[in-house]
Amino acid sequence: MNQNLAQFIFSGTTTGAIYALIALGFCIVENSMKIVNFAQGDFLTLGGMFMFSMLYALHLSILPAIVLSVLAVALIGAAMERFALRLAKSKETVVLVFITIGASIFIRGGIKLIWGKSPKSLPYFSGAHPIDLLGARILPQSLWVIGGTIAVFLALHHFFHHTKQGKAMKAVAYDPKAAALMGINVEAMMMLSLALAGGVGAVAGILIIPITTMTFDMGVMLGLKGFAAAVLGGYGDVMGAVIGGLLLGLLESLGAGLISSTYKDVIAFVVLLLVLFLRPRGILGKEEWERV
């Protein structure tokens, strides 16, 4: 394999894994509330910032810092449902989506106040010595990113297909009234979905902060690209989110490497527009965007 091509592919896979994690967060909320959570990218930023504080302010080791950071963002996601979405007088989809946009702005403001505007970064979890693979040089942190994405995907696939809570969450998305009549606590399922989305977003932020410096508004662009990945794969489909994220990351990397890095950020939105025009249900999406 050509060395440069191999480098582009591995780089794109790492980036795509991050997009996939963000897309998975979108899918979780879609599979319970049937809305787009535009605060998903900010959950990523929160995860990275909490990880920074856990390591440098509380001086914890990596594993406890990861667990506490994920739990902290999951609690913020749950609070967003309990004190913002649940209290909305109108449950119309458009209203709830705008609430998530407002929550995104609020979270970014909070991050700026607590952690400031200066970029934050962390050392690699397992060293900075690159690994040679098929002619490409891969940072060990990239393996953390890819492994973390695989682990989250498998956990979510099991959750939605093999647990009562996951099936209840999907039932709430299809018909909240019918789900309530069957004894499902609709509000609890919605809160759980935002908590899970927050936790998944936090994992993405924790894994990416050693690779790139993190700022308070970093989640905006990453969130939009994660949304593009979710739509590309089939909005609401867990497997589609992973495929869409990886494909988008590869397209970006190959486009930047073989054409020009100038168009790197444009590619995601061109792909999003093409998918919406040509195949709105995405690669794995079914008619009327049926969920996993």
Question: Which tokens sit at 76?
Answer: 């913020």
Helix (H, G, I), strand (E, B) or coil at 270: helix
- CA 253 – CA 50 distance, rounded (Å): 29
Q: What is the pLDDT of residue 210?
A: 92
Q: Hey, what amino acid is at 171?
A: A
Return averaged pLDDT per consecutive 10 residues of the chain, 292 residues in all.
77 93 94 91 96 94 95 97 91 92 96 94 86 80 93 93 89 87 91 96 95 91 92 89 93 81 77 83 66 44
CA 169, distance to chain mean position in Å, is: 19
Q: What is the pLDDT of residue 194?
A: 96
Assign a CATH topology to domain 3-125+134-283.
ABC transporter involved in vitamin B12 uptake, BtuC (1.10.3470)
Q: What is the pLDDT of residue 258?
A: 75
Question: Which tokens sit at 167?
Answer: 């099936």
Q: Which residues contact 142 (CB under 8 A, 6 or more apart)?
A: 10, 13, 14, 211
Report the 10 Å Cβ neighbour count for 43. Answer: 30
Q: What is the pLDDT of residue 286?
A: 65
Note the pTM of the prediction, 2 decimals. Answer: 0.92
Q: What is the pLDDT of residue 1?
A: 52
Task: Enumerate the domain spans of the chain.
Answer: 3-125+134-283
